[in-house]
Amino acid sequence: MPNPLKEYIFSGTINPSNKDTLIHLAECMLINLDELENLNKTEIGTLKEIITKTHIRMRKAYGHNNENMPRRASFAGSVNTAQFLNDTTGSRRFLCFEVEHIEYTHEIDINKVFSQALKLKTRLPPLVQPGGNQRNQCE
């Protein structure tokens, strides 16, 4: 992550009843959820609720009125076991990748990677329309 964007990453516990979590959903670009396999059934249900929200309605500290803010945060997580999704309703909200190795020493300029990603984002149509509940269009 480029240094200027690191302030927009949150790593830790999320709780939909906590006002700070709601602010992170609206203001962060990435929420990192470590150790997903330790979540119980209730917490997984709560996580599903949070990641499907399109807007957050809340009153910020010292604010007078509620604000309706778009959820900007995307989510990433890590697990140590392959079978962490034991939910009977399915796991379509999760796109899983198995990582065998990470090359920490590289010559790639991460600022250029994010610059290219932003350029692609502005030129290409979104895969899922906002507010829509569409299937993966890459099928």
What would the pLDDT profile of 49-83 be if each residue is shown by its tens digit? Answer: 888 888 988 888 888 898 899 999 998 888 887 67
d(CA 118, CA 69): 22
Q: What is the pTM of this model?
A: 0.71
Angle formed at CA 94 by CA 91 and CA 98, multiple of 5 degrees: 115
CA quadruple 83, 93, 31, 120: dihedral positive or negative?
A: positive
Strand partners, 76: 32
Which tokens sit at 118?
């932003």
Q: In this predicted model, which residue has the larger pLDDT, 91 or 29?
A: 29
Helix (H), strand (E) counts: the chain: 3, 5
Specify the DSSP class assigned to residue 95.
-
Contact status, residue 44 vs residue 24, Cβ threshold 8 Å: no
Q: Would you kindly state where each structural domain of the chain is located, as residue ranges?
A: 3-123
Reference 22, options 44, 53, 62; nearest CA is: 53
pLDDT tens for each residue of 86-129: 666 666 677 788 888 888 888 888 889 989 988 988 887 766 65
Using the Cα atoms of residue 133, residue 81, residue 21 and residue 48 in order, give the sign of their dihedral: positive
Judged by DSSP in three states, 129 sits in coil
Contact by Cβ (8 Å): 43, 21: no
Token couple for 48: 């599903």
